[in-house]
Structures are given as C-alpha cells and as structure tokens.
Amino acid sequence: AQRVTQPEKLLSVFKGAPVELKCNYSYSGSPELFWYVQYSRQRLQLLLRHISRESIKGFTADLNKGETSFHLKKPFAQEEDSAMYYCALSSGAGKSTFGDGTTLTVKP
C-alpha cells in the first residue's frame, strides 16, 4: 500500500524566512513524487515533480529514498506563497495518493 504523510496541517512563517513543508511517504517500489499547490480560489495545480529536478517559483524538493521523504523548501518565503500544498505519490499504475495537505501562511 502507498501512503503519504504531511505532518503539519498548518505552517506559518514570516516573509523572507526559509520555509520547509514536510512530506514522508511509504511505498515499496520506485515512486514518482509531486508537489501540488492550491492558491485561494484557484484550482489545484502541479508545482513540481521530483523527476524534473526543477525549481519552480523558488521552491525545490529533493527525494530522499533513505528517509522516504520529499520535503519542499524555499529559502525566502514570499506572501504570495500562502496557499495549500499537497504532496502526492504515483506508483505508475494510474493512481496517485495525496497527503492531507499543509496550509502555508506567510506573514508580512
């Protein structure tokens, strides 16, 4: 069975501070991992994929297979980063498992 855990429901940081949203997963095979973001009154959208090794809007995420983690990081948070963030795992069999999400608030 595959499982995604986001231990923090709420996370609050000040503008300019570093931010890390945690994601841990459980899966016996080689997972594909993603971060999705939902800004207020907008649809859920893909933020980044671990296979792309890209940085989107200053966010990066590194897959740590030893710790089975895929934490999302940004060195300097901006107010426009305030949103709901979901970590998701795909086994490739057509099903993605999502975490419960973390609401990030960046205070001015």
Question: Which residues in this chain contact another protein in the complex, by CB under 8 A?
Answer: 32, 34, 36, 43-46, 49, 51, 86, 90, 92-101
**Nearest residue (CB) to another protein, 40 versus 95:** 95
Cβ closer to another protein: 35 or 71?
A: 35
CB 43 to another protein: min, Å: 5
Contacts of residue 30, defined as CB under 8 A and 6 or more positions apart, other chains included, come to none
Distances (CA, A) of 56 to 9, 37, 59, 94: 22, 11, 5, 25
* CB-nearer residue toward another protein: 10 or 43: 43
Locate tokens 């990066």: which residue?
60
